[in-house]
């Protein structure tokens, strides 16, 4: 690992306040927030398999960091089984996946991300049956420099609304050229509340239809990513720009394959997407396709007038 990268602080994912439920995602922070805390104060509520579980008003949260003695695919399948066990009586709204060496070949020669996708898909099918696509929540999967797999989830007591982007083929309908099992996630999930909603935007990159756009060109990929975010935002009912000025609390993670791209990407996003009130982390990470260079995800809380 280059010295400059090694010296950067890792992102800390805090499921609760203080030191409760803090996980190291294995991602160097290039700029911005070094800790992500989306849900405020929580209380521990036990374990399910490898998962540590926490609860706060309206949310069940869980996370685990596990080694891979059985291989990435089987570990992912087992850990997702733990998630389904933990979330019985709840509805999955968001899952974050931090996958070691995501673009490297696994023992069989198949890319690690494809092994992960097969394990995750098989777990969903085993739990929900063949129609499991209707149950898929928003999610992201990025590469971590850790040798362990970290997965965190958020579940809610009410039925969420899962949303697709009209500009993109649903990930779960990708053709077989992307692996033996397609990725298992929705492009976004809306969680309605009595007065306000939460919205989770999945990791979004330069994919149009199911094709990678502008391979290896960060500027053009960022432009396509912003167009995709606009399409998802409209589909969710947030307007074209993810509810700017609407009073919601917005958190963003921007994943960059190359650290040197951060200043230019930040300048463009400050002009076209972010406001001064947003919480933003720029992170160095490998992405789910080897020729993708930038990916953006968002979590919005307190969105008014959205069901």
pLDDT, averaged per 10 consecutive residues of the chain (307 residues), comes to 62 76 91 94 94 95 96 98 98 98 95 98 98 98 95 97 98 97 98 94 98 96 98 97 92 98 98 97 98 98 91
Q: CA-to-CA distance for 141 and 123, rounded, in angstroms?
A: 16
Q: CA-to-CA distance for 10 and 55, rounded, in angstroms?
A: 25
Per-residue model confidence as pLDDT tens digits over 193-209: 988 999 999 999 999 99
Residues classed as catalytic: 295
Instruction: Judge whether 250 and 279 are in contact, CB under 8 Å.
Output: yes
| Res 120: pLDDT | 98
* Burial of 234 from C-beta contacts in 10 A (0-12 / 13-18 / 19+): middle
Per-residue model confidence as pLDDT tens digits over 69-127: 999 999 999 999 999 999 999 999 999 999 999 999 998 999 999 999 999 999 999 99
Instruction: Judge whether 282 and 263 are in contact, CB under 8 Å.
Output: no
Q: Which CATH class is domain 3-304?
A: alpha beta
The torsion angle over the Cα atoms of residues 181, 296, 92 and 46, rounded to 10 degrees, is 110
């Amino acid at each position: 690992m280059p010295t400059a990268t090694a010296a950067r602080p890792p992102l800390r994912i805090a499921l609760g306040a203080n030191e409760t439920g803090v996980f190291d995602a294995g991602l160097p922070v290039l700029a911005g927030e070094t800790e992500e805390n989306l849900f405020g104060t929580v209380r521990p509520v036990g374990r399910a398999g490898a998962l540590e579980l926490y609860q706060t008003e309206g949310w069940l949260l869980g996370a685990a960091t596990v080694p891979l003695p059985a291989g990435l695919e089987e570990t992912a399948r087992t850990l997702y089984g733990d998630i389904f066990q933990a979330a019985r009586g709840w509805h999955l709204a968001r899952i974050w996946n931090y996958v070691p060496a995501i673009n490297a070949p696994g023992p069989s020669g198949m890319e690690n991300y494809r092994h992960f996708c097969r394990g995750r898909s098989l777990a969903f099918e085993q739990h929900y049956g063949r129609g499991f696509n209707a149950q898929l929540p928003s999610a992201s999967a990025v590469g971590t420099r850790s040798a362990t797999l970290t997965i965190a989830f958020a579940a809610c007591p009410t039925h969420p609304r899962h949303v697709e982007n009209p500009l993109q083929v649903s990930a779960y309908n990708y053709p077989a050229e992307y692996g033996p099992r397609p990725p298992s996630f929705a492009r976004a999930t809306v969680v309605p509340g009595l007065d306000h909603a939460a919205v989770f935007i999945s990791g979004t990159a330069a994919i149009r239809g199911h094709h990678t756009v502008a391979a290896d060109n960060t500027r053009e990929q960022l432009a396509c990513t912003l167009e995709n975010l606009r399409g998802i935002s409209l589909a969710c009912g947030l307007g074209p720009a993810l509810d700017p000025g609407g009073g919601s609390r917005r958190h963003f993670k921007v994943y960059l394959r190359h650290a040197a791209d951060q200043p230019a990407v930040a300048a463009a996003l400050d002009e076209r997407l972010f406001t001064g009130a947003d919480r933003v982390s720029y992170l160095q990470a490998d992405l789910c396709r080897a020729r993708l260079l930038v990916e953006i995800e968002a979590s919005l809380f307190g969105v008014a007038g959205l069901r």
